[in-house]
Structure 1
């Protein structure tokens, strides 16, 4: 056996995911650290040959369509293994929903004409609902300030879902201590 065969290499994986919202009540929706969860139904490594790859894609996308569920989707994920691909797919979904929630928090303050600082939970993009006069007030108002990030709320600072997604991802890596020279080392 060639020892090169034992080395894991990044490859494209096809993931069938069920994005049906696991949250059923409003209380669950507003609870800290609670986000809808993506359920991974199937993972397989994408074929290397283009003809096989297309046949594989056609078969899996056909299966998703035949299932008739709007919550199923077929994704392509670059990963080291099947388990890694599933974890990445789940993580991407959670970060996306946290970013959407963060935008909702900021937009709700902006709609009321508010300007100041919001304390945003890094894990889920939620907030304590308050708008503070400055960073220090927002920081000291939290029981666990390390679980939050503090952002300015003002028309001068537009927060789009993509900006929030990148920001929360960076704050997660910073919180875990896996940022080196501004880049995550834990991927």
Structure 2
């Protein structure tokens, strides 16, 4: 049994995550604005000694393989506690899914050759599907304008998945007040 580190020192944590879709009904699956959440099955601080660390990794990787589920994965995070490692794992999954959805929204407009401003929800990367003439028009049309980010879409300025991820991560930090001189604070 691994003891909990009460000193809260930064270190590597092993996380077993289940990325299967936790929604069981079709109504829940198709609900607009639904945000899938990564389920964390197990968290353990990685051992300090290299031999113990390798044995620990082998044991957990074997457990993931033995489970026979493609949705389970063994991940590593540098964190200060078990809870912090869980938070990092869930945040990574959330931003990844939101950036995929944001890319799909942008691609939908680009495929039809549209140009204009769109509003993207920071929480899930979705949109209202509308294209606006200006920033002000896009912002005014939103029920919660502070929870969105706004930018122009044009075939001349394509967006990569990494660009979507970076923007949503930045906007999440801005929304929650975790910015210092324009840079996110990692907690």
What TM-score do you get using the length of structure 1 for normalisation? Answer: 0.91
Question: Over aligned residue pairs, what C-alpha RMSD do you find?
Answer: 1.6
Counterparts of residues 168-179 of structure 1 (less than 5 Å): 168-179=168-179
Q: Retained in 1: the 8 A contact 2:13–2:79?
A: yes
Change (3 A) 1:26 1:115: farther
The offset of 1:6, in angstroms, is: 5.1
The offset of 1:29, in angstroms, is: 4.0
Matches of 1:180 and 1:150, distance apart in 2: 22
Q: Retained in 1: the 8 A contact 2:43–2:85?
A: yes
Range that drifts further, 159-168 or 59-68: 159-168
Residue by residue over 1:40-69, the C-alpha shift from the partner in whole angstroms, topping out at 9 and shown as x without a partner, is 000000111111111111110010000000
Matches of 1:154 and 1:146, distance apart in 2: 23
Matches of 1:100 and 1:157, distance apart in 2: 17
- How many residues are treated as equivalent by the alignment? 182
Structure 1 unaligned runs (5+)? none
What TM-score do you get using the length of structure 2 for normalisation? Answer: 0.91
Structure 2 unaligned runs (5+)? none
Matches of 2:45 and 2:126, distance apart in 1: 35
Counterparts of residues 1-187 of structure 1 (less than 5 Å): 7-24=7-24, 25=26, 28-29=29-30, 31-32=32-33, 34-185=34-185, 187=187
Residue by residue over 1:149-180, the C-alpha shift from the partner in whole angstroms, topping out at 9 and shown as x without a partner, is 10211123221111111111111111122211
